[in-house]
Chains A and B, each alone.
Chain A
Amino acid sequence: MTYLLQQSLNALQLGSIYALIALGYTMVYGILTMINFAHGDLFMVGAFFCFIAATTLKLPFIPTLLFSMIGVGMLGVVIERAAYKPLRQAPRVSAIITALGVGIFLESIVLVLYPYPQSVPVLLPNVTWEIGGVVISSIKIIIILLTFALLLLLDFIVRRTMVGMAMRAISWDKSIVPLMGVPLNFVISFTFFIGTSLGAAAGVMYSQAFPVIDPYMGVLIGWKAFISAVVGGIGNIRGAMIGGFILGIVEIMVVAFLPSTYRDFVAFTLLLILLIFRPYGILGKPRPQKV
């Protein structure tokens, strides 16, 4: 029982990180119907921004987090303007391939700057408590609470503010809504900013939880987060949160009770079974197909 509690804490921590990255995928998809495959690498850049802020600038945790989120958010906006905006009218796959290219570009730039894996100093207070045999570390608690705060903030922005309303409107219809005076480019840039800065926040938290970072760390985590976005129903923000936590829980629980090499096998088999029964994800609605 204590073992189970212990593992569920780990699962929540990993799930938080997946959920934050999955949000970036799902927001961009919702508004542009484009899969931003560079997102996993933006997560990695976020971790490296955290590394820079913590070592060369010697900032404490909260400024580091803000530095990374704003920096990567700006990077996301620049990427959108430079690489994706010219392709809005192009076939969908061209945008996807461009995103893959941007991802490789980011990996290689970071690889040029930091050829070796770097270890990030832990900025969060590291205290452990033991309650009834369950070891609780302050880092895990802070990561989980911070994630929930960010998710609530995002939910507030999307559902209660003007920008959020504009975002929802544009994801509903991209051609009519701008005619009503909604600034299309600003809203798309804003979506990219929010999505990528959430990815950067995930990167900072990941580098606090698992302090060794390298330029290729974003590839696998990015694809897995994409999977959790699809499990939740891609384009659906609450779905992405749920999907991220589900993937985190499944992965940790498989490792807890089976040999650790079975992790991907069991996780992806469950995913396939889930997609057979709910082909559009947990919260996704099937879009009617017309001829």
Chain B
Amino acid sequence: MAASTQNPKRLQGLRNLWESLMQKRWLLPVLLGVGFVLSFAIPQFNLVNPYIQLIMMYVGINIILTTSLNLINGYMGEFSVGHAGFMSVGAYIAALLSTRVLPVEWIGWFFPFTVLIAGLGTALVGLVVAIPSFKTRGDYLAIVTLAFLMIVKSVIENIEAIGGPRGIPGIYRLTNLPWTFFWTLVAVWVIRNFIYSNFGRGVLSIREDEIASDLMSVNTRTVKLQAFVLSSFFAGVAGALFAHVLQFISPRVFDIVKSTDMLIMVYLGGIGSIAGSIVGATVYTVLLEVLRPLQVWRFVLMPLVLVLLMIYRPRGIMGLREFRWFIPSRDLFARKNWHANREKKEVSDATPAS
């Protein structure tokens, strides 16, 4: 506030620069190219220390998780709390593949396929969870997903062949920065394109009103099925990457607290916004690491920040908004027209839509 009164001109200049930068269509490819080169260069030449590289990998994994959860919770308007369950399925499939099933000389080059198989396996599980979502909604669906999480944890604990409550130790550390970057990119790209496709419009219409969208000949069952399958696929991918960073997984890693973390990242960043998911996951992960010297106190401080943010900005950092270079250009024009029309309308009748 004080800065803007002292030198409003300079701030305005910065703001203009930011605005014009956000509108540039070349920004996205440039950022991606730089990111891709960096993801190879950083581990190769040790540009930053390994601890920060580790955090960058966690940021990538959390972005995948948050974006995929945002598809269900933000875009479809459900309240799923079982995302850690999907993640654990993916992590276990991948961990079993690389510790038990595959021969040792294979696991290195087979890693991308391991992640893919883990994602596909988790997508199958997501198919099963999608079925109760046809009829139940809201808090009751939250319970179904919560029960799913508990059941998955309980099943894993009871199968001795996959380590039971002790988990799987000794997983090779195969997740590196380029792979994390690649999968994060795939997740964000696929989900963004899904949202702005016809399928995505169906998902949004379910959030706004399920019955109305049903009447408008949206096949709500198919749409829900697609959303759940896609979301759980990427949760499985994230789980597989996570298992190969942590090198040890057990049912305890994927408990309700993990789900709570993901929910916080989604709503901190803002629902219905992929940019929000990226911002939320990055801010939350980095902030928790930056505050590490505070030890236990960081978990006192963090929720306070969250509560204050929710009070003063109830939709999260970027709720329902996107970076402009994120939106496909076709959609951008539609949106501009819509805003222009709304302004005209608001001038004509002085009742703004709430």
Measured CB to CB, the residues of A under 8 A from B are 29, 35, 83, 86-87, 90-91, 93-98, 100-105, 107-109, 111-112, 115, 219-220, 223, 226-227, 230, 234, 259, 261-265, 268-269, 271-272, 275-276, 279-281, 289-291
Contacts and interface: CB of A to CB of B under 8 A. Distances in A.
Contacts of A279: 135-136, 140
Interface string B188-228: 00000000000000000000011110010000000000000
A112 B303 CA distance: 14
Interface of B: 73, 79, 132, 135-136, 139-140, 142-144, 146-147, 150-151, 153-155, 157-158, 165, 209-212, 215, 256-257, 260, 263-264, 267-268, 271, 296-297, 299-300, 302-304, 306-307, 310-311, 314-316
- Dominant SS among interface residues on chain A: helix
Contacts of B143: 226-227, 230, 271, 275
A94 B302 CA distance: 16
Nearest to A230: B143
B212 A280 contact: no
Nearest to A109: B300
B151 A264 contact: yes
B314 A94 contact: yes
Contacts of B209: 291
A280 B140 contact: yes
Nearest to B311: A86
A276 to B, nearest CB: 7
Contacts of A107: 299
A268 B150 CA distance: 7
Question: Lowest 6 A-B CB distances belong to which pairs?
Answer: A90-B314, A108-B299, A265-B154, A105-B303, A101-B303, A94-B314
A282 B305 CA distance: 39
Given A94-B310, A112-B300, A264-B150, A100 B264 contact: yes
Given A105-B300, A261-B157, A268 B147 contact: yes
Contact of A104 (B267, B302, B310): B302
Contacts of B264: 97, 100-101
Contact of B154 (A111, A223, A268, A290): A268
Contacts of A262: 154, 158
A83 B151 CA distance: 33
